[in-house]
Chain A
Amino acid sequence: MKQLPLAALIAASCVAPIASAETLNVYNWSDYIAEDTIEKFTAATGIEVNYDVYDSNEVLEAKMLAGNSGYDIVVPTSDFLQRQISAGAYQPLDKSKLPNLANMDAALMEGLAGYDAGNEHAVIYMWGTTGIGYNVDMINERLGDDAPTDSWALVFDPDVVAKLADCGVSMLDAPTELLPAAMNYLGLDPRSTDKKDFEAGAELLMSVRPHVRYYHSSQYISDLANGDVCVSVGWSGDVFQARDRADEAENGVAVSYVIPKEGALQWFDTMAIPVDAPNPDAAHKFIDFVMDAQITADITNYVWYANGNAASMPLVDEEITSDPGIFPTDAAKANLWASQVYNARQDRNVTRLWTKVKTGQ
């Protein structure tokens, strides 16, 4: 049974490393690029692209730490980037090959520098927040006008969540994002690494646990769109994708995304070049190509995630730039927090508490 997918996996991994001078192996998140970006890159440079996708940082990290992945471009999220840099997984960028760096938003790149000092190893691909997606009608039906749709109370207040249990509550299976959000709701510092704070956050999550249907990081997109769940802690762009899918299906489901007033995690997905990339030259060309104002604008217009490219902003659809769920207002920005990188012991604390939240053990 399992031999079959395994064989396919082996076959796939054998294909990736065979890279001549004219191919580039890209490993990016699923549903995270415009339909024509790769085509345009090949047309502009003559470099063929092998494009693979993943749906979790953990899977990417396992490949980066094992080494010899065969990829030239990968897209880790900021806190994972930092740890992988300290493990020696990425090569420094040759900025002389990246003239389009001038297009990048200085303030956002400085935010990224908190994870990658001097922006030596990575540039921002897209960024977003971890907030709440919900089914407008189902919430309204159960909570009426008092629904706290602007607050984490929608998923963290046991009395509120209990009323939503029947229509389906989901959370990301991402302990390093959920625990800080819970800590923040309790008035604690979301960037704290104190074990007591973690435990307090876990306790809150456990109090709503009986009403949560599942913890998963991609299934909620289709479930929100189909009305199989009515509220999800999720990533901004993914919730907008759910809204799009519901619109396309014309199934009467209205999905909305909110950055709760208490604040939310802001993360950056970044383009980086593995230290053992077979074709770093083409990788630089790809990064520079994506940093082109029009190309980045095309991607944002397609995936509904904010980018870090100041020059692209005039080319982004107004529907997107004016949406506070994608480009938060200054007031909301003040409440965003950056993820904290944990050491091994803290990591173990966090994942162990997360297992406890999920399984009760």
Chain B
Amino acid sequence: MTQGVVARGRAWVAAVPGIWLLVFFLLPFLVVAKLSLSEAAIARPPYLPLWEWDEDYLTITLNLGNYRYLIEDALYINAFLESLRIASVSALMCLLIGYPMAWCIARARPERRNVLLTLVILPFWTSFLLRVYAWIGLLKPNGVINNMLIGAGLIDQPLTLLQTDFAVILGIVYTYLPFLVLPLYANLVKLDGALFEAAEDLGAQPWQTFLTVTLPLSVPGMLAGCLLVFIPAVGEFVIPALLGGADTLMIGKVLWTEFFNNRDWPVASAVAMVMLVVLVLPIMLLRNAQNSSEELA
């Protein structure tokens, strides 16, 4: 009896995220999947229906041409590869900058940790869009950085900083850094201090301790942090649109072009489907990393 109540209670609790996923992930996903098999048309909405009832006949028309199109034109594959490249470089840069930050916060006195963590989260209090616009002001030819360098006599001509891949990666690293620092911090702060003492007692130099004890134990945190940067960065649209040049080819921009310039919702949906599949792999890695870090804890 009581067991039944508990089981039912559990089912209800589990149903909340289940329904959430159903309504906000699975249903939109199915809509996009259906759209990706349709055909564009000048109509409202701008695609042909997938099935039609005519008398007693149900006609279902599936158009696989949208996917074939993605393979035939090298543009899409190149855009995917370029997005993966920019996202990987950004995740790596985040790791290089974020690891020392997370490590310092984790090693700080407990009462100072909260202050430092608040500082990491503080930028979120300003709109993300405003902060990206602020970078435009810093990087543009007539902007703060160039004017300072020219004023200091280091350069004669303004450097081209804006509208480059460099600016895109800078923007992504700046925006997503907290997403790496926080999970990595959570991982590092839980490491058992006795391990470091043991290493020291056994004669290890601090860098040896770091390389042989801290680093291997923080792999799950690094992985989780990198994926939290990598996954949204692949599909990023706003940052390349504002900071990138015309030749910055990323899949988010390609998707925009398909949807708005070509009015081709089906091909846009096919691009989105492929992007999802490309990203499922890292998401599964993330799950594994989380599971193994839970086991460690």
Which segment of B58-66, B187-195, B199-207, B243-251 sits at the interface? B243-251
Please state if A4 and B127 are interface contacts (CB–CB under 8 Å). Answer: yes
Closest residue of A by beta carbon distance from B141 = A228
Q: Residue B129 contacts which of A5, A67, A168, A359 (CB distance < 8 angstroms)? A: A5
Q: What CA separation (Å) do A351 and B260 show in the bound complex?
A: 11
B175 contacts the other chain (Cβ, under 8 Å)?
yes
Which of A61, A214, A358 meets B263, CB within 8 Å? A61
A-B contact count (CB 8 A): 87
A190 to B264, CA, bound (A): 24
A58 lies within 8 A of B140 (CB): no
Q: Is the CB of A88 within 8 A of B44?
A: yes
Chain B 235-254 per-residue mask, 1 if CB under 8 angstroms from chain A, else 0: 00010000001111100001
Within 8 A of B (CB), among A304-348: 344, 347-348
Q: How far is the CA of A88 from the CA of B44 in the complex (A)?
A: 7
* Contact digits for B124-140, partner A, Cβ 8 Å, 1 yes 0 no: 10011100000000001
- Give Cα A89–Cα B45 distance, bound, in whole angstroms: 10
Which residues on the A side are within 8 Å of B141 (C-beta)? 168, 228
Min CB distance B26 to A, Å, is 18
A21 close to chain B: CB less than 8 A: no
Instruction: Tell whether, in the assembled complex, residue B249 and residue A348 are in contact, meaning their CB atoms are under 8 Å apart.
Output: no
Interface size class of B (residues with CB under 8 A): 35 or more
Q: Is B90 an interface residue (CB 8 A)?
A: no
Give the residue name and chain of the A residue nearest to B39 (CB).
Answer: A344
A78: Cβ under 8 A from any B Cβ: no
Contacts of B157 in A (CB 8 A): 166
- Interface assignment of A261: CB less than 8 Å from any CB of chain B: no
B262 part of interface (Cβ distance < 8 Å): yes
What is the number of residues of chain A that contact chain B, defined by CB distance less than 8 Å?
Answer: 40
Q: Does A62 contact B (CB under 8 A)?
A: yes
On whether the beta carbons of B249 and A61 are closer than 8 Å, the reply is no
Q: Are A347 and B262 in contact (CB under 8 A)?
A: yes
B5 at interface by CB-CB < 8 Å? no
Q: Give min CB distance, A12 to chain B, whole Å.
A: 15
State A56–B129 Cα separation when bound (angstroms): 19
Q: Is B14 close to A, CB under 8 A?
A: no
Pair B247/A359 contact, Cβ less than 8 Å: yes
Contact, CB under 8 Å: B246 / A58: no
A56-B260 CB under 8 A given contacts A168-B141, A214-B246: yes
- The interface residues of chain B lying within 8 Å CB-to-CB of A351 are 257, 261-262
Contacts of B45 in A (CB 8 A): 65-67
A352 to B76, CA, bound (A): 11
What is the minimal beta-carbon distance from B155 to any residue of chain A, in angstroms?
Answer: 13
List A contacts of B44 (CB < 8 A): 64-67, 87-89, 275
A175 beta carbon closer than 8 Å to chain B: yes
In the complex, per-residue mask of B64-92: 1 if CB is within 8 Å of any chain A CB, else 0: 00000000011100100000000000000
CB-based contact B142/A227 at 8 Å? yes
A244 to B262, CA, bound (A): 34
CA distance A360 to B246 in the complex (A): 10
When chains A and B are docked, how far (Å) is the Cα of A173 from the Cα of B32?
Answer: 27
Question: What chain B residues lie within 8 Å of A227 (beta carbons)?
Answer: 142
A99–B275 alpha-carbon span in the complex (Å):
53
Q: A228-B140, A359-B249 are in contact. Are A83 and B232 (CB under 8 A)?
A: no
Q: How far is the CA of A166 from the CA of B124 in the complex (A)?
A: 36
Q: Specify which chain B residues have a CB less than 8 angstroms from the CB of A275 in the assembled complex.
A: 44
How many angstroms between the C-alpha atoms of A347 and B163 in the bound complex?
Answer: 27
- Using CB atoms, name the residue of chain A closest to B43: A87
CB-CB contacts below 8 Å: A1-57 with B: 1-2, 4-5, 56
Taken together as a complex, chains A and B put the C-alpha atoms of A222 and B75 apart, in Å, by 32
Which residues of B lie under 8 Å from residue A96 when comparing CB positions?
Answer: none
Type the 1/0 row for A111-154, where 1 means its CB is closer than 8 Å to any CB of B. 00000000000000000000000000000000000000000000
Is A355's CB within 8 Å of the partner chain B? yes
B42, B124, B163, B254: the one within 8 Å of A87 (CB): B42
What CA separation (Å) do A230 and B42 show in the bound complex? 39
A195 touches B (CB below 8 Å): no
The smallest beta-carbon distance between B236 and chain A, in angstroms, is 9
Other-chain contact of B43, A61, A88, A175, A360 (Cβ < 8 Å)? A88
- CA distance in complex: A168, B176 (Å): 31
Question: Is the C-beta of B29 less than 8 angstroms from some C-beta in chain A?
Answer: no
In the complex, the answer to whether A65 meets B46 with C-beta atoms within 8 Å is: yes
- Report the nearest A residue to B246, measured CB to CB: A358
B166 at the binding interface (Cβ < 8 Å)? no
Measured CB to CB, the nearest residue on chain A to B78 is A361
Asked whether B75 lies within 8 Å of A361 as measured between CB atoms, the reply is: yes
Q: In the docked arrangement, what's the CA distance between A172 and B128, Å?
A: 26
B103 within 8 A of A: no
Q: Which residues of A contact B175 (CB under 8 A)?
A: 1
A215: which B residues are within 8 A, CB to CB? 246
In the complex, residue of chain B having the shortest beta-carbon distance to the beta carbon of A67: B44
Write the nearest CB–CB distance from A53 to chain B, whole angstroms: 16
Whether the Cβ atoms of B142 and A228 lie closer than 8 Å is yes
Given contacts A5-B129, A65-B263, A226-B142, contact A358 B42 (CB under 8 A): no
Residues of A contacting B271 in the complex (Cβ-Cβ under 8 angstroms): none
Instruction: Give the chain B neighbours of A347 by CB distance below 8 A.
Output: 261-263
A212: interface (CB < 8 Å): yes
- A332–B176 Cα distance when bound, in Å, is 52
B interface list, Cβ under 8 A from A: 40-46, 73-75, 78, 124, 127-129, 140-142, 157, 163, 175-176, 232, 238, 245-249, 254, 257, 259-264
23 A-B pairs within 8 Å (CB atoms) are namely: A4-B127, A5-B127, A56-B260, A61-B260, A61-B263, A64-B44, A65-B45, A67-B45, A87-B44, A87-B46, A166-B157, A213-B163, A227-B142, A228-B142, A344-B41, A347-B262, A348-B262, A354-B261, A355-B257, A358-B246, A359-B246, A359-B248, A361-B78
> What 9 A-B pairs have minimum CB-CB distances, sorted nearest first?
A58-B260, A358-B246, A65-B46, A359-B249, A351-B261, A359-B247, A215-B246, A87-B44, A87-B42
